[in-house]
Structure 1
């Protein structure tokens, strides 16, 4: 057998090396590529509004999310970019639309566990942006926010977001106290109809947000896993005279009119009519744009900003 000339052997070795490296590159999975480049910000899909809001607040909005259209009505801010895809309802996204997306990771929480088989081989991070305690505090939301930052390879962005948010909420509280120095206590509710309400309790994010602002949340009992308790309209009679009622939208004009005609509402002493003759004699009240209770620090930012700019009617010299 004749020996292969050294020049030909060298050429064959180089070609073999190039072919091998080419095959290795084409077979690499997204997870492997991310592992080799840990600084890469992955393309994220989340079915959850709270995670979408927090990622957007950090400056790294998701590529796709659930119920983007209704997010505007129930969460509002921070604004989701126009190029973020809407994959359908949060609880049951469109599988065909989902399959067409180029994603690196899905970030959800326990509420969406039933969707996980749809994600195939995609990595999944489950993060709860809620407090596990009966009395929520700011510290409860630090680690979940940092975990969210780590899941997108942006831990510093998450820390900066926490620091900036704490500062903004504190400043919003200072501004609020200058506008309404006599208002100290608030009860936060949301109407289902003229007789049924949700009252947000101490395990909701309203507690740490108001506490950071230097305000006090009033509630009648511990909240459920979503941070609220159901009450009846007449239950509001239990509120002290020095407690302002904060009504969170959505609340339609028709419902307001029905409440104004309600004898119970009248006996409670509230009125939505800012310019009515009895407005100054009625109890302290304001209506806030929709503020989502399950968005962690993102919702606290929104709540503080809206309270800072809110107009309270009725007796504010408590």
Structure 2
């Protein structure tokens, strides 16, 4: 009898011990999962596997170029808004959002094991918060009165040097130049009469930005075999402010390209505008009360400060654009 009691007691102790071990093991797993939840999904894998430096950038143009080259940044600013204003190239889910571009969260930097920050002169005020991290600056714009391909190619090559991938940067440039020329051929095949484009963005029903010859639209259209038309020289951001009525200065052989955002209320207000009607533009086919229909298309938002990455997006969207009015010239 005593031996049976001893056996039962030992068995009960063993079961209790095994249950305790199971509880401890599950607790450790839960703790580990909680600790890793501070890192975005797939980011830890990216950090371990990526051979290039772990880059953070507050600049959308730099981020877009890195993605297009095949070496996306580990972290960037305003990632959510990037999707609304830039869109393409699409930012990977593993790229972490460190907050506002102009005022990111410095506490997040230490959690990501960053190697380098790549910014532009616009973000110089942020550099003290990077501590000992090396910082490189890239300006994806042109300071010349008329922008050229090389104004954007040089900083792209510099970017390749900063991430230790100069060959990838050169290959990217060669490929993009080829793609722009191919997009131009496709565009001219679809619209053989369209050769001149004026590119604008609406602030409201009466105020617009017209992109000029010092913007990235100039070399992009040039590589496509098309001509950019502007009414004046651009400011430091590549555009000149104009009024709606100024569009009357455009010749009839110039198609108007409207870059979004363009809200539905704004569209409706323009349809009711006597100035817009007299200009002869319409967002719909055969919908101008004056009977005059000038050539027009609307493109999704294209980031003006995105360098060659933005040129590629513009070319792709133009290639697939549908024009209304003026019988497509």
> TM-score, length-normalised on structure 1?
0.85
1:259 corresponds to which residue? 270
2:117 corresponds to which residue? 106
Is the CA contact (8 Å cut-off) linking 1:246 and 1:287 kept in structure 2?
yes
Could you list the runs of 5+ residues in structure 1 that have no partner in the other structure?
1-38
Indicate whether 1:243 and 2:227 are aligned: no
Give, in angstroms, the shift of residue 143 of structure 1.
1.1
2:78 corresponds to which residue? 67
The range that moved more, 264-273 or 92-101, is: 92-101
Indicate whether 1:196 and 2:207 are aligned: yes
1:117 corresponds to which residue? 128
Q: Of the two structures, which has the highest relative contact order with CA contacts closer than 8 Å and spacing of 6 or more?
A: 1
Indicate whether 1:177 and 2:188 are aligned: yes
2:242 corresponds to which residue? 231
Listed one character per residue, the Cα deviations across residues 168-218 of structure 1 (whole Å, up to 9, x for unaligned) are 010000000010000010110000110111110100000000000010001
Q: In structure 2, what is the Cα distance between the partners aligned to 1:273 and 1:184?
A: 22
Q: In structure 2, what is the Cα distance between the partners aligned to 1:286 and 1:142?
A: 29
SS at match of 2:87: coil
Indicate whether 1:134 and 2:154 are aligned: no
Give, in angstroms, the shift of residue 273 of structure 1.
1.3
Listed one character per residue, the Cα deviations across residues 38-92 of structure 1 (whole Å, up to 9, x for unaligned) are x941000000000000000000000000111111111110000001011111111
Residues 158, 280 of structure 1: CA spacing in aligned structure 2 closer, same or farther, 3 A cutoff?
farther
Residues 94, 280 of structure 1: CA spacing in aligned structure 2 closer, same or farther, 3 A cutoff?
farther
SS at match of 1:145: helix
SS at match of 1:301: helix
Could you list the runs of 5+ residues in structure 2 that have no partner in the other structure?
1-49
Indicate whether 1:290 and 2:301 are aligned: yes
Is the CA contact (8 Å cut-off) linking 1:183 and 1:316 kept in structure 2?
no
Aligned positions, number: 280
Provide the alpha-carbon RMSD of the alignment: 1.5
Is the CA contact (8 Å cut-off) linking 1:279 and 1:314 kept in structure 2?
no
Give, in angstroms, the shift of residue 100 of structure 1.
2.2
Q: In structure 1, what is the Cα distance between the partners aligned to 2:291 and 2:79?
A: 40
Residues 279, 40 of structure 1: CA spacing in aligned structure 2 closer, same or farther, 3 A cutoff?
farther
Indicate whether 1:303 and 2:321 are aligned: no
Is the CA contact (8 Å cut-off) linking 1:185 and 1:218 kept in structure 2?
yes
Q: 1:92 aligns with which of 97, 103, 110?
A: 103
